[in-house]
Structure 1
Amino acid sequence: MSGAKKYINRDLSWLEFNRRVLEEAEDASTPLMERLSFLSIVSSNLDEFMSVRVAGLQDQRKAGYIKSDFTGYTPQGLLKRIMKRTTRTVRQQYKVYRDLMRLLSREGIELLSVKDLTTDQRTLMKAHFQEIIYPVLTPMAVDVSRPFPLVHSKEIYLAVVLKPEAGGEDKTVCAIVQVPSILPRVIPVLSGRNSRRSCYILLEDLLKENISLLFSGYEMEAVHAFRVTRNSDLTLNEEGAEDLLQEIEKELRRRKHGLPVRLEVEKGMHPHALQLLRDELELWEEDEPLEIDGPLDLSFLSKFASLLQNVDHLKYERIEPVYPEEFENADDILSVLREKDVLVYHPYESFEAVNDFILESAADPDVLAIKITLYRVSVNSVLIQALARAAESGKQVTVVVELKARFDEERNIAWARLLENSGCHVVYGLVGLKTHVKITLVVRRESGALRRYVHVGTGNYNDITAKLYTDAGLFTSHPGIGEDASALFNEMTGYSTPHDWRSFAVAPIGLKEKLFELIDREMEHAQAGRPARIVAKMNSLSSQSMIDKLYEASQAGVKIELIVRGVCCLRPGVDGLSENIRVVSIVDRFLEHSRIVAFAGGGEEEVYISSADWMTRNLSRRVEILCPVYDAGIRSSLMNLLRMNLEDDVKARKLSSMGGYIRVHNEAQDPLRSQFAAAELGRWKRSRR
């Protein structure tokens, strides 16, 4: 079979995922405020996709690269397909936006245009403009003596077309004004039309209305908004960088000058301004500006929804994470882990358990060392403060900080410096590899010996995302896992030959091979007539070699069920290739982020949690782990979670062999919404009680 028939293109699959997010904004059963948030996520997702994936394809096109990828697409052909689908999605996105604005108006909330303001409102808002906004603005003329200014990525600007007032030269000129991102984009209208309605206006609309105050002696011919997305991927020469931190700081400064990838313009933009932008940004002829019929950058909707008062009835019912019952009545967490392993599943169970694990270890005089990997950390992280205090108290604290976590580089640099100043040993990982593993090791002195306690997670050590993402975390003092954790940190921080792992499988060398070994074993079980089944949950599946291995297992009779939230390049249900493979995707209130894989094992079931998606970068260019779950009760709990995902018939979509997604419906039973069912902890922890 040709590549196009065997595989789904990664970037086109991602666009299908973003389309599923848009469907949540379209869904009338989703609460109104949540629909606004989903619409916001569509925009922020697309921004990142353009600044990284599309930017890479454009680089290949400019370099004259014409080779097809394993799915059969050349960069040029793929770019055309992407832009066609993107334009269609954006058009639908703004249709949904207008529908949601009408629904908001029925709830007494209005986002007004200038023409909707009363005379009194205009007077009050003009005063607000002069006092709060005007002093911040900087008009930038574009002429022979003043070249086109640097337009920052993903910021909103106004292109102002001007003519001198009567008596001056009859010459059209242009100026640029940045809509200041330091100010709130949504402004309350100071006088509503009646007290029962909440009215707002966008900052750029208020700026347009008063723009003439910036250009005395000129007549306004046109004012339109535009926005540029630049290439934001970092190109690091790690081999030649004596100081990785300084190298990344240098690249972050270069990011501001990345080549333009996409130009969004307000509908009806003046042709003079449009031509100026095309010329100055040096866009390729085929890279047509994206004309937007509405406000640019709908990612503001998420903040807007969070600012509104008295709208709880338009949101999901609040779910308060519960503290894990295994720890709730215990004197300390480590005493529990001496007796048994504990699974914590976020966001239904609180991330405070992870914080407490570090806090207690930092305060325990018998704890000698704490080692942890940090990839993306929240702004006010309790963990950072606890690690700093532990180092200041004399403990050996080692922190492997991944500086190259995309778009979190600046924050991670700040944490790295803070930790270093506190006395922590800060390591920036291995040259050429991202450290994506999520693991903590605590070494404690007990009865004249040392004991290791480990936390292994599928998600980052981030208390904010732990309330928004589904992730599993395993606490254990299992000797094999503890020994492997020590060896893993030794490899990441020093010179160490590959370890003979007792429990872990570690990427970039060994994890994919371990998965292949487990898949081969399932094939042997299938051929011998024993139970043979693979259930795997992940964010993305795009590794060609992994997909080929799953195809091989399907043809050998192994039943394979995959829960893949985002990108999936595998085509399920193709006769003679993948008829034994089923793929579902769940897009719902929380971002499905956990990585769990289970093998029937001929009747001796094995379950693993992992930091790795099944993508080429995760399996060959990152430090990742696959960790076995030894506790039978925890294995059962994880299988319950997988089972609920597979039986979801409310928010699950099934991937067809043609690459499209179809909602799953089961008329024969009560509907099951897996995220809501998981919120009832007894539904998945029942076997452990």
Structure 2
Amino acid sequence: MTNAVKEHVPRESPSIYINRDLSWIEFNWRVLEEAQDQSTPLLERMKFISIVSSNLDEFMSVRVAGVKDQLKAGYTKKDFTGYTPAGLFKRIMKRTAKMVSEQYKAFREISRVLAREGIIYTDYESLNASQKKTMDAYYHDIIFPVLTPMAVDQSRPFPLVHSQALYLAVILDREGEEHDDEDAYFAIVKVPSNLSRYILVPARTNSKKQEYILMEDLITQHIQTLFSGYIPVAVHGFRITRNADLTLNEEGAEDLLEEIEKELRRRRWGAPVRLEVQEGIHPYALEQLKDEFEISEHIFEIDGPLDLTYCMKLAGALPRSEHLKYEPIEPEYPQEFEETDDMFERIRQSDVLLYHPYESFDAITDFICQAAYDPQVLAIKMTLYRVSGNSPMIQALARAAESGKQVTVVVELKARFDEERNIAWARKLEQAGCHVVYGLVGLKTHAKITLIVRQEEEGLRRYVHVGTGNYNDSTARLYTDVGLLTAHSVIGEDASALFNEITGYSAPHDWQAFAVAPTDMKDKLFSLIRREAEHALAGKKAHIIAKMNSVSNQEMVDELYAASQAGVHIDLIVRGVCCLRPGVPGLSDRITVRSVVDRFLEHSRLMYFENGGESEVYISSADWMTRNLTRRIELLCPVFDKKLQRILTRILKLSLHDNVKARLLQSNGLYTRVEQKEELLRSQFAAMKISSWKHGGHARADRHESQETTPTSF
């Protein structure tokens, strides 16, 4: 910690940092608030309910699993926010239990309102005779052949229970016998994950209402078909979450791909972290589960369907429901490329900035495809972190390699929960003749960059795409990200050097434009922050605006505190975790932190430094977290074009002026909604006008953002 920070914090004060995991919980509360918000369209509220569940699944399987590992190892040291593992675990479980309770309360409310709209979550007994007949046939023809009842007794040990899969615990009596609970028969049935969890029921006669039933309810209704000669006493759902963090010995692995495949198989046996059970579960069944999973305290009794992640697919599949969703938007194809068949020619004229999802990701796909088929292109080099299930880029890269081009692809095999997909892509690219690299030992390759080397009349020219998000055409419709297309010679030289470092033996490069983690990005950011502090102390303009997903690195937080003490005004736009505590007198009273949670996932990493009136703007792949700054290959890239700088600054200021979906972080670690004014500004909806202010001239782009108004809903 810097001396400036130390001097202003008395020893008896509470921690000047917010705990990372508790900050994440507050983020998921903000997602839940969107599900609770009655101004959000009904089926969009269902989607937010689903997101809360999927977020919590990952949090439990990774972050909470790590805390449990510390407890198991007897670790008692406090972290830099003042929490011991035991104290943190207790607080996490209390807050998440309350969150789950509120989530299901919201689910029940949404279900009631949906029922008034004619979309009804029902049970078997509420169906009429005709509907029951149809559902009986569906069970016998589709579900029953897939089911496997698994008895648990002395000769048949407890089978492997997969993490986050849904199961039914079944208590049985043999026909003609009477048993105490302790002598009951116990079995489990896995609810098939390869069939639709929700089943749309045929409409009643002369009714436009749409009913759906969950598969586990249908299985429960017909459970006796799986156990002839036995009488079902009780059937209740359960779900286990296991530790999903990979433990790799990369240096000892002869083949990283094979090592990760082994670890993925081991993940299925990860230590249990959380047990979810249906409320009212039979005591004997609960005891069996507790004994098997050796879990006693981390049990959630759920009043409703387990695993609400199904709500996402349901919301997208219901017929005649468009009025209950956001009005669809079609991303605009960037005007810069609309009237040209030669993207390279247009990029040579000037740099191009793309803002997704408002502008179509097809432009990036077309850039790669044009390079793949262009006879003047000699080489394509690209990083891939998360790719969609049917990526046209993969096909283009394979085609380029087959046609004789030098194609190098850095595939990150350790992208959490996308490991299997990336392994499949890596093998396909290798078969096509691409040079596939798995990055450097001990480091994830998280930078998002493509380099095209092209033979032209003037000689070789490099074309570069640098982005804040993944090369994933699916998520590019759901996440806000920016990308820069440039033929700038300095950026091109740095791009070549970066790929040489990743794929070969190269000494650390003396970067002309880039800053690259883990070698020098942190130092570069610190120098930029300290420069603003020097300007402030000299009475010059000093202002930092930074937008990212998370801020949790202690050194980074201390640098921001010191800059605030020096007089720098700092506006942070942090969607998720933030360990910095703003608004503390004498420490961080010039720092604001706000979070925007809305229709799209805020994913851009953008930075603005006032620099005494000579402002600089950067885009990056990195959040300000320890893992990004020290354990990943990350990229910070300057934007040289003044017009594009103004566009990026405007994107930042739109978030700063949002008074509909923005929340401000208070010094107590809680978030409050920004006070609404007469003129409402919803930054994500205002950004939909990007074409008008990208191409409407400098004066239009420089207009004060607070004049840009938008309604609270479509």
Q: TM-score range by the shorter chain?
A: over 0.9
Alignment of 1:202-213 (within 5 A): 202-213=214-225
Partner of 1:179: 191
Alignment of 1:16-55 (within 5 A): 16-55=26-65
Alignment of 1:266-665 (within 5 A): 266-283=278-295, 285=296, 287-447=297-457, 449-665=459-675
Is 1:226 aligned with 2:238? Answer: yes
- SS of equivalent to 1:534: strand
Q: Is the 8 A contact 1:633 1:687 kept in 2?
A: no
Q: 1:191 to 1:630 in 2, by over 3 A?
A: closer
Partner of 1:675: 684
Distance in 1 separating the partners of 2:330 and 2:457: 39
Displacement of 1:330 = 1.7
**One-letter amino acid matched to 2:682:** R
Displacement of 1:117 = 1.7
Q: Is the 8 A contact 2:347 2:487 kept in 1?
A: yes
Q: 1:160 to 1:194 in 2, by over 3 A?
A: farther
Distance in 1 separating the partners of 2:544 and 2:45: 35
Q: 1:342 to 1:216 in 2, by over 3 A?
A: same
Distance in 2 separating the partners of 1:470 and 1:405: 20
**One-letter amino acid matched to 1:237:** N
Q: Which deviations, in whole Å up to 9, do the C-alpha atoms of 1:359-412 show, x marking residues without a partner?
A: 111111111000000000001101100100010110000000000000000000
Distance in 2 separating the partners of 1:168 and 1:31: 52
Distance in 1 separating the partners of 2:322 and 2:233: 44
Distance in 2 separating the partners of 1:280 and 1:105: 39
Aligned residues: 686
Distance in 2 separating the partners of 1:591 and 1:186: 26
Distance in 2 separating the partners of 1:469 and 1:638: 16
Q: Which deviations, in whole Å up to 9, do the C-alpha atoms of 1:479-499 show, x marking residues without a partner?
A: 110000000000000000000
Displacement of 1:191 = 5.1
Displacement of 1:666 = 3.4
Displacement of 1:200 = 1.0
Q: Is the 8 A contact 1:640 1:684 kept in 2?
A: no
**One-letter amino acid matched to 1:391:** A
Distance in 2 separating the partners of 1:446 and 1:191: 64
Q: Is the 8 A contact 1:54 1:79 kept in 2?
A: yes
Partner of 1:87: 97
Aligned partner (choices 240, 243, 249) of residue 237 of structure 1 = 249
Partner of 2:5: none
**One-letter amino acid matched to 2:510:** D
Distance in 2 separating the partners of 1:588 and 1:465: 15
Displacement of 1:217 = 1.6
User: Unpaired runs of 5+ in structure 2?
Assistant: 1-8, 701-714
**One-letter amino acid matched to 1:660:** L
**How many percent identity over aligned positions?**
66
Distance in 2 separating the partners of 1:406 and 1:468: 19
Q: 1:498 to 1:167 in 2, by over 3 A?
A: closer
Aligned partner (choices 253, 257, 266) of residue 269 of structure 2 = 257
Displacement of 1:425 = 0.4
Distance in 2 separating the partners of 1:642 and 1:66: 41
- SS of equivalent to 1:248: helix
Q: Is the 8 A contact 2:394 2:425 kept in 1?
A: yes
Aligned partner (choices 49, 52, 68) of residue 58 of structure 1 = 68
Q: Which deviations, in whole Å up to 9, do the C-alpha atoms of 1:565-620 show, x marking residues without a partner?
A: 00000000000110000000000000000000000000000000000000000000
**One-letter amino acid matched to 1:329:** E
Q: Is the 8 A contact 1:161 1:220 kept in 2?
A: yes
Distance in 1 separating the partners of 2:547 and 2:177: 71
- SS of equivalent to 1:6: coil
Distance in 2 separating the partners of 1:82 and 1:558: 34
Q: Which deviations, in whole Å up to 9, do the C-alpha atoms of 1:470-526 show, x marking residues without a partner?
A: 000000011110000000000000000000100000000100100111111101110
Distance in 1 separating the partners of 2:170 and 2:14: 46
Q: Which moved more, 1:293-302 or 1:316-325?
A: 316-325
Displacement of 1:216 = 1.5
Distance in 1 separating the partners of 2:52 and 2:459: 53
Aligned partner (choices 131, 135, 145) of residue 141 of structure 2 = 131
Q: Is the 8 A contact 1:264 1:290 kept in 2?
A: yes
Distance in 1 separating the partners of 2:143 and 2:212: 16
Q: Is the 8 A contact 1:636 1:687 kept in 2?
A: no
Q: Is the 8 A contact 1:192 1:199 kept in 2?
A: no
Distance in 2 separating the partners of 1:607 and 1:524: 18
- SS of equivalent to 2:86: helix
**One-letter amino acid matched to 2:225:** L
Displacement of 1:221 = 1.2
Q: Which deviations, in whole Å up to 9, do the C-alpha atoms of 1:59-84 show, x marking residues without a partner?
A: 11101111111001111111110010
Displacement of 1:548 = 0.3
Aligned partner (choices 101, 120, 123) of residue 110 of structure 1 = 120
- SS of equivalent to 2:349: coil
Is 1:192 aligned with 2:201? Answer: no
Q: Is the 8 A contact 1:458 1:593 kept in 2?
A: yes
Q: 1:390 to 1:340 in 2, by over 3 A?
A: same
Displacement of 1:448 = 5.2
Provide TM-score, normalisation by structure 2.
0.95
Distance in 1 separating the partners of 2:201 and 2:512: 64
Partner of 1:165: 175
**One-letter amino acid matched to 1:220:** P
Q: Is the 8 A contact 2:203 2:209 kept in 1?
A: no
Distance in 2 separating the partners of 1:426 and 1:448: 31
Distance in 2 separating the partners of 1:681 and 1:608: 19
Q: Is the 8 A contact 1:163 1:173 kept in 2?
A: yes
Distance in 1 separating the partners of 2:693 and 2:654: 9
Distance in 1 separating the partners of 2:244 and 2:437: 25
Q: Which deviations, in whole Å up to 9, do the C-alpha atoms of 1:166-208 show, x marking residues without a partner?
A: 2476631111011111111111223536431111110000000
Distance in 1 separating the partners of 2:329 and 2:442: 41
Partner of 2:709: none
- SS of equivalent to 1:437: coil
Distance in 1 separating the partners of 2:206 and 2:299: 40
In angstroms, what is the RMSD of aligned CA positions? 1.2
Q: 1:512 to 1:210 in 2, by over 3 A?
A: same
Q: Is the 8 A contact 1:162 1:218 kept in 2?
A: yes
Q: Is the 8 A contact 1:637 1:687 kept in 2?
A: no
Q: Which deviations, in whole Å up to 9, do the C-alpha atoms of 1:286-336 show, x marking residues without a partner?
A: x23100000000000010011101111111111111111111112311001
Distance in 2 separating the partners of 1:364 and 1:181: 43
Q: Which moved more, 1:159-168 or 1:215-224?
A: 159-168
Distance in 2 separating the partners of 1:625 and 1:77: 36
Distance in 2 separating the partners of 1:549 and 1:455: 30
User: Unpaired runs of 5+ in structure 1?
Assistant: none
Distance in 1 separating the partners of 2:196 and 2:177: 39
Q: Is the 8 A contact 1:4 1:71 kept in 2?
A: no
- SS of equivalent to 1:196: coil
Displacement of 1:115 = 2.5
